[in-house]
Structure 1
Amino acid sequence: MPPSDTPPPAEPLDVGDRAPAFEATLVTPEGETRETNFAELLDKPVLLSFYTVDFSPDCIEEWCTFRDFDWFASGEEVNVVGVSKSGPRLHRRFIDRLDLGFPLYADTDLAVSEAFGVAYRTFGVFRRSRRSCFLVDEDGEIRYRWLGEHWLDPTRDTPPVGELHEAVQAELADDPETFGF
């Protein structure tokens, strides 16, 4: 991610805020790995899902739930993209192992997480991304936000799939897609 003139937010970004511009390494289900500007994905709404690292038990559960519900992969109306501290090689293995149908950003320095205000230190020591989801519309405005709230370790919360589905439906408004429900 290129350096920014503005410092990262002290608090997580909220509904109505503009999503920050960034570029990071994106690993696709098709095996492509390339630097990708977030704006390239905004041809339709984007659901960014921040998580800690690939292959942690809580993250496997989250991504398998997303995959199994197939509520976003079944339509072409929303881009779902994961963001974690894991690097491109581990992302490639994670996508292949779980048979995921969506790309993952490698946020190895947590610059993207910091820009969204979701980087933190677990137990005050290890830097990672707070479990969170942001639905960003085509204009770059955050339309929905979910933040993990666990008192000791926010990585232990799992995004509410039903609530995410409702947020996507509200954003699409006139699209009858069922997203697997």
Structure 2
Amino acid sequence: MVQLTDAVDDFLLPGTDGDGFSKYRLSDFTDEGSVVLVTYPFDFSPVCTEVMCKFRDAEFLAFTEDVDVFGLSLDSCYAHEKFIEEYDIPFPLLSDTTGTVTEQLGLAYDEWEHHEGVPKRALVTIDDAQTVQYKWSTESAYESPTLDDELHEAVMQGNDDET
């Protein structure tokens, strides 16, 4: 399980920004700055929809250069594409269909609503050295993260060339 200041293994996952499917490699984005990874159980579930819309509306993320936001769940790119379209999500959603990245990050529920291995609701910031700068997760998929100063500071720190 990845903790603060641990390195994250590079990964390549299918995903969509709502306009077709692509492969997304972590290092392609950390080479240019930092990444905010938002993991969540399922597209279209009530709390997941609320949380993803909060990220859609988070001004400090939209106006911070060299920070890329990605959502990650086990859902397919087809579900992600519809989710993006319905809720106007402005960042790519990645499909961790095998649960490899979810497991690497230590963010899989043993079981949640009769589904094994789905991602916990979590936020992880990864800097340009592919090091975890911030990690928040919850055992309750009904709990929402706050987009507070601590997250903003971690994003900015992960985006600092001197880090």
TM over 0.5: yes
| Structure 1 alignment gaps of length 5 or more | 1-11, 175-181
TM-score by length of 1: 0.80
| Structure 2 alignment gaps of length 5 or more | none
Q: Give the 3-state SS of the residue equivalent to 1:161 in structure 2.
A: coil
- Tell me: CA distance 1:35–1:173, structure 2 relative to 1, closer, same or farther (3 Å): closer
**Residues in 2 aligned to 1:103 and 1:49: alpha-carbon distance in whole angstroms:** 11
Q: Deviations over 1:18-37 (max 9, x none)?
A: 012211102114x1311222
Q: CA deviation at 1:173?
A: 5.5
| Partner in structure 1 of residue 27 of structure 2 | 39
**Residues in 2 aligned to 1:137 and 1:123: alpha-carbon distance in whole angstroms:** 30
Q: Which residue type is aligned with residue 113 of structure 1? A: T
Q: CA deviation at 1:63?
A: 0.8
Q: Deviations over 1:13-53 (max 9, x none)?
A: 11110012211102114x13112221111121001111001
The yes-or-no answer on 1:94 pairing with 2:80 is: no
**Residues in 2 aligned to 1:46 and 1:145: alpha-carbon distance in whole angstroms:** 12
1:132-147 correspondence runs (5 A):
132-147=122-137
The Cα RMSD (Å) is 1.8
Q: Which residue type is aligned with residue 8 of structure 2? A: A
Rg larger for? 1
Q: Deviations over 1:104-145 (max 9, x none)?
A: 111112111011111122258422111111110111111111
Q: CA deviation at 1:72?
A: 1.0
Aligned sequence identity (%): 30
**Residues in 1 aligned to 2:157 and 2:25: alpha-carbon distance in whole angstroms:** 26
The yes-or-no answer on 1:83 pairing with 2:69 is: no
**Residues in 2 aligned to 1:146 and 1:91: alpha-carbon distance in whole angstroms:** 23
Runs of 4+ in 1 over 6 A off after TM superposition: none
Q: CA deviation at 1:71?
A: 2.5
